[in-house]
Structure 1
Amino acid sequence: MSLATEKKSEQGGFLETLRVIAHALIIAVIIRTILFQPFSIPSGSMKETLLVGDYLFVSKFSYGYSRFSIPFSPNLFSGRVWAAEPQRGDVVVFKLPTDNSTDYIKRVIGLPGDRIQMIDGVLNINGQAVPKVRIEDYVEQEPGGRAVRVPRYKETLPNGVTYETLDLIENGFYDNTPVYEVPTGHYFMMGDNRDNSTDSRVLSAVGYVPFDNLVGKAQIIFFSVDEGRHAWAFWNWPWTVRWSRLLSWLS
Structure 2
Amino acid sequence: MPHQDRPSSSRPLRPWLRSLGEIAAALVVITVGKAAIAEPYYVPSGSMEPTLLIGDGLLATKYPYGYSSASLPASLVLPRTERLFGAVPERGDIVVFRWSGDRSQVWVKRVVGLPGERIEMRAGQLWIDGRPVRLQPDGESAIENGDGSTISAQRYVETLPNGREHPILKLAGRQPLDDMPAVTVPPGHLFVMGDNRDDSADSRVAVDQGGAGALPVADVIGRVDAVVGSWNPAVTRGPAWEWPAGLRLSRFFSAVR
TM-score bracket, normalised by the shorter chain, equals 0.7 to 0.9
Pair 146,98 (structure 1): closer, same or farther in 2 beyond 3 Å? closer
Structure 2 unpaired stretches of 5+: 1-9
The answer to whether the aligner puts 1:58 opposite 2:60 as a matched pair is yes
Q: 1:246 to 1:235 in 2, by over 3 A?
A: farther
Match of 1:73 in 2: 77
- How do residues 106-145 of structure 1 correspond to structure 2 at under 5 angstroms? 106-139=109-142
Equivalent pairs counted in the alignment come to 241
Helix, strand or coil: the match of 1:165? strand
CA distance in 1: counterparts of 2:234 and 2:38, whole angstroms: 25
Residues 1-251 of structure 1: pairs in structure 2 closer than 5 A: 14-71=16-73, 72-75=76-79, 78-139=81-142, 148-203=151-206, 204=208, 205-228=211-234, 238-251=244-257
Seen in structure 2, the aligned counterparts of structure 1 residues 10 and 224 have a Cα distance that, compared at 3 Å, is: farther
1:145–1:25 distance in 2 versus 1, CA, 3 Å: closer
Distance in 2, matches of 1:140 and 1:206, equals 21
Q: Secondary structure at the match of 1:179?
A: strand
Kindly state the Cα deviation for residue 24 of structure 1 after the two structures are TM-superposed.
2.1
Amino acid at match of 2:78: P
Q: Deviations over 1:121-158 (max 9, x none)?
A: 11111111111011132235679987643210000000
Deviation by residue 1:92-147 (Cα, 9 ceiling, x = unmatched): 11112233232211100110011111111111111111110111322356799876
> Residue 14 and residue 90 in structure 1: after superposition, are their counterparts in 2 closer, same or farther (change >3 A)?
same
Once the two structures are TM-superposed, the CA of residue 20 in structure 1 deviates from its matched residue by 3.4
| Distance across 2 between alignment mates of 1:145 and 1:226 | 8
| Secondary structure of 1:21's aligned partner | helix
CA distance, structure 2, for counterparts of residue 207 and residue 53 of structure 1? 25
Whether the aligned pair in 1 keeps the contact of 2:152 and 2:171 (CA below 8 Å) is: no
The one-letter amino acid paired with 2:20 is L
Contact 1:53–1:229 (CA under 8 A) maintained in structure 2: no
Stretches of structure 1 that go unaligned for 5 or more consecutive residues are 1-7
Give 1:39 shift. Answer: 0.6
